[in-house]
A and B are shown apart, each in its own frame.
Chain A
Amino acid sequence: DAEITQSPRHKITETGRQVTLACHQTWNHNNMFWYRQDLGHGLRLIHYSYGVQDTNKGEVSDGYSVSRSNTEDLPLTLESAASSQTSVYFCASSRQGEETQYFGPGTRLLVL
């Protein structure tokens, strides 16, 4: 079955370290998204991509970067982790022009 996976599911890191969260989907969806989920804020869009080599900033992109070298993957990198980036991160994908987004199981990140 087609799916969307995230790894790791849990991560503890230290302030200042670079961290990369993986997202992989097997639906061949053009669109991929990264969100963070925090109490009181719901889901906030970090970065998104509409296809290979395309990346765009969302509403909370500072301190994060993404790259899209193939259709299946959109890794999210925290350049220098900060405690404010402690959160649950969700990756999602959708077919171009389709309204429904399909979410991964999430990565819980703790920055100490």
Chain B
Amino acid sequence: GNSVTQMEGPVTLSEEAFLTINCTYTATGYPSLFWYVQYPGEGLQLLLKATKADDKGSNKGFEATYRKETTSFHLEKGSVQVSDSAVYFCALRDTSYDKVIFGPGTSLSVIP
């Protein structure tokens, strides 16, 4: 069945460091891919998405490119800030239904 795998956390970075959070997926067909972010004490919110191969989603300085050949959707940011501290979830939307399958989440802490 469909699944999403993310790198294990927690990840701790210094402010202005480069961020990569790896995400790979298993799916039939051509799913849409997402990154959701959960700030402390809040629900999840969509960070970015890509709907087809080679699409790049971007928002708030974060980027991720839909790589069908490697079934990956890695999240990157060139210079993280303390306010980026959160849990990041990679997810895919099953092409047959409106359900979204989430990865386990990666906790990011950015220290000044």
Q: Which residue numbers of A lie inside 8 Å of B, CB to CB? A: 31, 33, 35, 40-43, 45, 48, 50, 58, 90, 92, 94, 96-97, 99-106
Contacts and interface: CB of A to CB of B under 8 A. Distances in A.
Nearest to B43: A103
A105 B41 CA distance: 8
Contact of A104 (B43, B49, B89, B99): B43
B103 A42 contact: yes
Which label, helix, strand, loop or mixed, suits the secondary structure of the A interface? strand
B98 A94 contact: yes
A45 B45 CA distance: 17
Interface of B: 32, 34, 41-46, 49, 51, 89, 93, 98-100, 102-105
B45 A103 contact: yes
20 contacts: A31-B98, A42-B89, A42-B102, A42-B103, A43-B105, A45-B99, A90-B43, A92-B44, A99-B49, A99-B51, A100-B34, A101-B46, A101-B100, A102-B45, A103-B43, A103-B44, A103-B45, A104-B43, A105-B43, A106-B42
The 3 A-B pairs with the shortest beta carbon distances in the complex, nearest first, are A103-B43, A42-B104, A43-B102
A102 B93 CA distance: 14
A44 B107 CA distance: 17
Given A31-B98, A42-B89, A42-B102, A100 B43 contact: no
A96 B42 CA distance: 24
Given A41-B104, A42-B89, A43-B89, A100 B99 contact: no
B99 A99 contact: no
Contacts of B45: 102-103
Given A96-B98, A101-B44, 12 more contacts: A42-B105, A43-B44, A50-B98, A90-B43, A92-B43, A100-B46, A100-B49, A101-B100, A103-B43, A104-B43, A105-B41, A106-B43
